[in-house]
Chains A and B, each alone.
Chain A
Amino acid sequence: MTAPRPGGNAGTPPRGIRRIRVPQKLRNLELFLVVFACGINAAAVALVQLGALGGIDLATMLTLGLGLSVLVLGMHVALRFVAPNADPFILPIATVVNGIGIAMIYRIDVSRNVSGWDSTAVRQVVWSGLAIVLALGVILLIRNYRVLQRYTYVAMFLAGILLLLPMLPGIGREVYGARVWIGIGPFSFQPGEIAKIFLAVFFAGYLVQRRDSLSMVGRKVLGIRFPRARDLGPILVLWALSMSVIVFQRDLGTALLYFGLFVVMLYVATGRTSWIVVGGGLFSLGAVIASQVLPYVNDRFTAWLDPFNQKRYEEIGGSYQLVQGLFGLGNGGLIGTGLGEGRPDITPLAQSDYIFASLGEELGLAGVFAVLALYLLFVARGLRISFAGHDDFGRLLGVGLSFVFALQCFIVIGGVTRVIPLTGLTTPFMAAGGSSLVANWIIAALLIRLSDTVRNQPRLVI
C-alpha cells in the first residue's frame, strides 16, 4: 500500500505516514464484491421462484434476500472501523456460499410446500443473522488474536465439555443414530461444530510450546525421522478421543475431522512427514477395526463400496440416500436442470447433509465447480493469511482454521460423491443448520481478525 516514497523537501519536515491518507482500497474492493455477492444471491432466489413457482414472489424474495444482504453490509461497514486492513475476500465468499445455500434450501421448501416459520429457509436466514452478529462480536471482542494463546488450556477444557455435552442424559439427542446433538425444548444444536474452533486454538497454543520436543528427536527409518515412543503421547490421546467419538457418538466424520486437524497442525508445526504417516496409519487402523466391530460403520462401508446392489438399496440404513444423491447429480449433468426445475427433494436430508447433491442437480457440474472454487479460494485466503503471520501461534491458528474448513468440505462432499464413505457432516455455510453456520462464520471472523493484525504489524521496520 504505502510504498516507500521520497520524503518532502528540506523546508517542511517529512511528516511520514500522517500525510499519507491510505484510501481504504481493501474495504472498497470488499464492498464491490459484497454487493456483487448479494446480487448473485437475489438472482438465485429469483430463479428458484421462476423455475418452481412460475413467477416472482416479491415478499419472500425480500425476506430471504434482504435479511442476509443487510447484515453482511452491516458487517462490512463495521469492518471499515474495527478491522480496516482485513482480507477483503473472506466476507464476500462466505456471503455468496451462504446465499446460494439459502436459495437451495428455499427451493426444497417450495417443493415441500412449507412457508413461514416452518420454512427451513426462513430459519436459515435467521441463523445466518445470528451467526453474522456473533462473528462481529468475535471481531470486536478479540482485538488481538494473541490473547487466545493465554487461554490454550481453557480452550481445551471448553472443547472437551462441548464434546461431552451430547452424551449427557437429558439434553443429549440422538439423530439418525449419531449422538452429536443437544436439544433444549424446540432448539437443537451441534456443539461439536463449535468444539473444532476451540480445538484449533488449543492445538495452536499447545504445539507452539511443545513442538521442539516433537520435532527434534527420533530415529530415522527409510529416510523419515520417526518420533520417540514417549513423544507419541499427544497423538495417541487424540487418536483415543476420535475413536471414542466413533464408538460413543457414532459419528465417523467428526472423528476424522478432529484427528485430521491435529495431525495436520502437528505436521505444520514440526515439519515432519512422519507425523502424517503415523497419523494416517493410526486412523486407517482404527477405521478398519471399527468397520469390523461396529455395525453402523460397517453399513457405511458396504454402502460406499457397493451402493447399486438392489438389496442394499432397499434395506434400512442402506445406500438409498447415497444412490438418490448420485442420481440427482447425474440428472443435473453439465449445466443442471435449472434452479427450481429438478427433483432434489427426493433425496433424504436434501437440505442439510445432501445440499451439495441438490445443488449439483439444479446447477450441474458448472455450478458445483463454481462453489468448489469458492471454497478453494476461502481456504487459500486462510492459508495465505497464516503464511503472512508474524508469530507462530497466529500462523498455526490460521492453518488450523482453514484446514478444518477444507477437511470438512472434503469429508462431506467426498461422501456425497462417493469418494469416501458417507458421513454426516455439514457443508460449510450452505447446509441447513444453525450450529454449522455459527461455527463457520466464527472461523471467518477469526481469519478476518488474523488478517487485519497481520497487515497492521509492524508499524515501522528499521
Chain B
Amino acid sequence: MSQLTLLILQLAFLALLWVFVFVVVYSIRSDLFGRRVKRLPDAAANTFPSAAPPTFPASGQAPSAAVAGAAGAGAAASLTAVTEAVGTSAPEAGPKSKVPIFTPLEGSHAGTHPRATTGNATRLVITSGAKSGTEIPLGTMALTIGRSTDSSVVIRDDYTSTHHARLMVWNEEWMIQDLDSTNGTFLDGKRVTSPMTVPLNTPIKIGATSFELRR
C-alpha cells in the first residue's frame, strides 16, 4: 500500500470522525437554540364545545384554551406550551371556581359502579378544570398528584398541595389516598380521609380539577 493511499485514507478517517462530531452537534441544535413553541390556537374553545361535561354545571368550568391530547409525554417544549396555556386560562377559571362545589352525578354513588381494577380501568379522564377532556393511560404504576413537578399529574392551582394525593394499586384495585392535603381530596363528594377504593366513572375532585377512572 503506497504512502499516498495511506495518507488519503488517514484524511478520510479524520473527516469521518469530524462528520460524526458534527452530526451529533447538528442533532442537538434544538437544545442549543430551543425548540419551537407551538402557539395554542385561540379558537380551540369554540371548536371544542363539549369539552366540559354537561353533568357538571355548578363547577362552572368554561372549556378553556387547554386542548385535549396535550399530555406531557415528554419534550420540555410541550411542557412550556402547556404552562403558558395554564397561565392564560387560570385567571378566568380561578374566580368562578373559588369555592369548589361538588355536584354529584345524578344517580351515581359509589355503590352502583364496579370498582376500578387494573383490569377494567384503562384511562384517567379529566372531567372538569382547565384541562377537561384530557386523558392519560393508566398502567399498573401508582400516580402521584400534586403541585410539585415530580408528580405524575401536576395540577397548578391555588387549591392543590405540593404532594396532594396518590392513586395506587392495592391487590389490583385502584385506591385513592389523600396525602394530608390542605384542601382535601373528594371521592364522589366525600372527603377522603383514609385510602379508599375508587369505583369506575366516579369523580375524584382535587382543587378545581376532577377526574374519573374509565374503561
Residues of A within 8 A of B (CB): 1-8, 10, 13-20, 22, 29, 33, 36-37, 39-40, 43-44, 47, 50-51, 54-55, 85, 88-89, 92-93, 96, 335-336, 338-339, 341, 363-364, 366-367, 370, 373-374, 377, 380-381, 384, 388, 390-391, 455-462
Contacts and interface: CB of A to CB of B under 8 A. Distances in A.
B30 to A, nearest CB: 11
B44 A461 contact: no
Contacts of B155: 462
B76 A18 contact: no
B72 A458 contact: yes
A274 B31 CA distance: 31
B82 A89 contact: no
Given A6-B44, A17-B137, A22-B73, A457 B150 contact: yes
B37 to A, nearest CB: 9
7 contacts: A2-B78, A4-B67, A17-B135, A88-B27, A370-B18, A460-B136, A461-B79
Given A458-B154, A461-B82, 17 more contacts: A2-B69, A4-B81, A5-B67, A6-B67, A17-B73, A17-B135, A40-B16, A40-B20, A89-B27, A338-B9, A370-B14, A390-B149, A391-B149, A456-B74, A458-B72, A460-B126, A461-B72
B214 to A, nearest CB: 9
Given A1-B73, A16-B68, A377 B41 contact: no
A15 B130 CA distance: 17
Given A14-B69, A17-B73, A459-B153, A47 B10 contact: yes
B212 to A, nearest CB: 12
State the 4 A-B residue pairs at the shortest beta-carbon distance, nearest first. A7-B68, A14-B68, A4-B70, A16-B135
Contacts, number: 202
Contacts of B28: 89, 377, 380-381, 384
Nearest to A377: B24
Contacts of A10: 48-50
Contacts of B1: 50, 54-55
B59 interface: no
A324 B90 CA distance: 68
Nearest to B124: A460
B7 to A, nearest CB: 7
A6 B47 contact: yes
Nearest to B152: A459
Interface in B1-28: 1, 6-7, 9-11, 13-14, 16-18, 20-21, 23-25, 27-28
Interface string B159-185: 000000000000000000000000000
B110 interface: no
A462 B149 CA distance: 11
Interface in B123-166: 123, 126, 129-131, 133-137, 143, 149-157
Contacts of B51: 7
B97 to A, nearest CB: 13
B34 to A, nearest CB: 12
Contacts of A29: 27
A314 B13 CA distance: 37
Nearest to B27: A29
Contacts of B11: 335
Given A7-B68, A44-B13, A14 B133 contact: yes
A20 to B, nearest CB: 7
A47 B9 contact: yes
B152 A460 contact: yes
Nearest to A13: B133
B125 to A, nearest CB: 8
Interface residues of B, number: 68
B58 interface: no
Contact of B74 (A4, A85, A336, A381): A85
B63 to A, nearest CB: 10
A6 B71 CA distance: 12
Given A89-B24, A377-B24, A461-B86, A1 B10 contact: no
A89 B20 CA distance: 11
A51 B6 contact: yes
A62 B14 CA distance: 22
B9 to A, nearest CB: 6
A460 B71 contact: yes
B194 interface: no
Contacts of B150: 390-391, 457-458
A390 to B, nearest CB: 5
B159 to A, nearest CB: 12
A89 B23 CA distance: 10
Nearest to B70: A4
B35 to A, nearest CB: 9
Most chain B beta-carbon neighbours within 10 Å: one of A17, A93, A377: A17
A197 B57 CA distance: 56
Nearest to B160: A462
Contact of A2 (B31, B41, B47, B71): B71
B17 A370 contact: yes
A161 to B, nearest CB: 32
Contact of A459 (B18, B68, B71): B71
Contacts of B131: 460, 462
A172 to B, nearest CB: 40
A18 B85 contact: no
Contact of A462 (B78, B81, B126): B126
Contacts of B151: 458
B40 interface: yes
A19 B14 CA distance: 45
